[in-house]
Amino acid sequence: MADSKSNDAGFQGLMKSLNLDPQQYKLYNSSDFPQKSFQELSQIKTNIEQQLNNLFDLLKHQHNVDMDSPLVTKDGFPRSDIDVVSVRLIRTHIIKLKNDYKSLLDILESKMEEEFAKLKKAD
């Protein structure tokens, strides 16, 4: 478990090297989602969507690549026209956020059902 935390700290340090604000581009612990309220989860959902939009724009407009663009030449060498390390870091962050987003949507769905049940019971 300590290795995971040290890897996350190293990853966050690398993200800082991209000049990305760690407060704006943060990672979430999906195991914390079930304890949060519907409103907190809705806010996290909005934050993740904003982060994903920003990161996709960064890939497209600053690095001229997308999630499927090759990072190596036909000969297997890293492309010289892009910053391969930065693109890989951004892609990794996008993948982590997408996984968190999927977990979040599953939990939000069950929380929404609970909210509707409370409203129906109150009527």
What's the domain count of the chain? 1
Contact at 8 Å (CB) between 85 and 4? Answer: no
Give the whole-angstrom CA distance, residue 80 versus residue 60.
17
Q: Please give the pLDDT value at position 48.
A: 95
The predicted-structure confidence for 5-31, as pLDDT tens digits, reads as follows 555 666 666 666 666 766 677 778 888
Q: Please give the pLDDT value at position 16.
A: 63
| Mean predicted lDDT score pLDDT of the chain | 85
> Which structural domain range is residue 89 located in?
2-122
The predicted-structure confidence for 78-115, as pLDDT tens digits, reads as follows 999 999 999 999 999 999 999 999 999 999 998 888 88
